[in-house]
């Protein structure tokens, strides 16, 4: 299995990364993509890609500036540093829009546009973060289509919103939300969207899974949980787990063509 979105370079994993990777391999997760979130972290992300291989995990990276830190880097310098750092990456991102952050949406859109231009220049997919800004994001993507597509990661929206993204050539990232019994809107989307539209992810250490025994969200998340996410998606859709794993793997490989 492939964890198409995890942040194993974050401090939460610093003291026990070998154990985290060993648990992932033990359940069949042997490939992962690490999206960078700020130019200051890009070298660290690339270093983690190399470190993963000694533990039996093939890791790949994406280069981007997360919307949470969209105002923490000079906008006039961003296109140059993106273009210099992207060669070797399998995608551009994590980038996008987040209406919950106290950063003007106009500024966030300008930062996003830098990523779109870079992705189209290098013919790479875009890894998109979007929180309560779907209408704006869809408008931007309609105005500037993505040559190599992309994924709306950690999707928690409605079937109607997801369908619009599919019409723009994007995939939907299925993560811990599929395990949450009260996420009825996202559950409907995951149950009715074509399986060809989905890829699996954890967003570890964020987006924890629901624990049925404790009846609450777990406190941690890690790449091994891709297996649980796949099982939850299979149960929701009433299909064999092997169908989920094989189809989502093909979807991920097709989107992130540089993985091959």
pLDDT at 213: 75
- pLDDT tens figures, 115-133: 999 999 999 999 999 999 9
Domain 2-259 matching CATH 3.20.20.70: the answer reads no
pLDDT at 139: 98
Give yes or no for a cis peptide into 94 (omega within 30° of 0).
Answer: yes
pLDDT at 260: 72
Residues facing residue 126 across a β-bridge? 92, 150
Contact, 190 vs 211, CB < 8 A?
no
Strand ranges inside the chain, DSSP E: 2-3, 31-35, 58-63, 91-98, 126-131, 150-152, 170-174, 198-200, 210-211, 216-217
Q: Please give the structure tokens belonging to residue 131.
A: 């929180």
DSSP string for 57-89: -EEEEEE---GGGTTSS-TTTHHHHHHHH-TT-
Residue 82: phi and psi, rounded to 5, are -60, -50
Residue with tokens 């209408």: 135
Give yes or no for a cis peptide into 205 (omega within 30° of 0).
Answer: yes
CA distances from 257 to 57, 59, 148, 239 (A): 18, 14, 9, 27
- pLDDT tens figures, 2-16: 999 999 999 999 999
pLDDT at 215: 80
pLDDT at 53: 87
Residue with tokens 């009260």: 182
Residue with tokens 């250490």: 205
Estimate the share of the chain in helix, then strand, then coil, as percent rounded to the nearest 5.
Answer: 50, 15, 35
Residue numbers of the chain with a pLDDT score lower than 70: none
């Amino acid at each position: 299995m492939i964890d198409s979105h995890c942040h194993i370079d974050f401090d939460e994993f610093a003291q026990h990364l070998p154990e985290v990777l060993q648990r992932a391999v033990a359940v069949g997760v042997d490939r992962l993509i690490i999206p960078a979130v700020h130019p200051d972290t890009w070298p660290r992300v690339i270093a983690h890609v190399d470190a993963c291989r000694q533990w039996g995990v093939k890791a790949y990276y994406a280069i981007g500036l997360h919307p949470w830190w969209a105002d923490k880097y000079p906008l006039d310098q961003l296109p140059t540093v993106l273009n210099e750092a992207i060669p070797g990456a399998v995608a551009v991102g994590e980038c996008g829009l987040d209406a919950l952050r106290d950063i003007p949406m106009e500024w966030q859109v300008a930062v996003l546009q830098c990523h779109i231009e870079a992705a189209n220049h290098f013919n790479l997919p875009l890894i998109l973060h979007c929180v309560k800004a779907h209408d704006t994001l869809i408008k931007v993507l309609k105005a500037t289509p993505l040559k190599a597509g992309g994924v709306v990661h950690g999707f928690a929206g409605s079937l109607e919103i997801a369908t619009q993204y599919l019409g723009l050539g994007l995939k939907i990232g299925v993560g811990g939300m599929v395990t949450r019994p009260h996420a009825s809107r996202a559950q409907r989307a995951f149950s009715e969207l074509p399986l060809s539209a989905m890829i699996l992810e954890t967003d570890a250490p964020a987006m924890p899974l629901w624990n049925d025994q404790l009846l609450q969200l777990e406190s941690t998340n890690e790449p091994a949980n891709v297996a649980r996410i796949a099982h939850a998606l299979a149960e929701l859709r009433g299909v064999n787990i092997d169908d989920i794993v094989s189809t989502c793997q093909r979807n991920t490989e097709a989107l992130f063509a540089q993985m091959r």
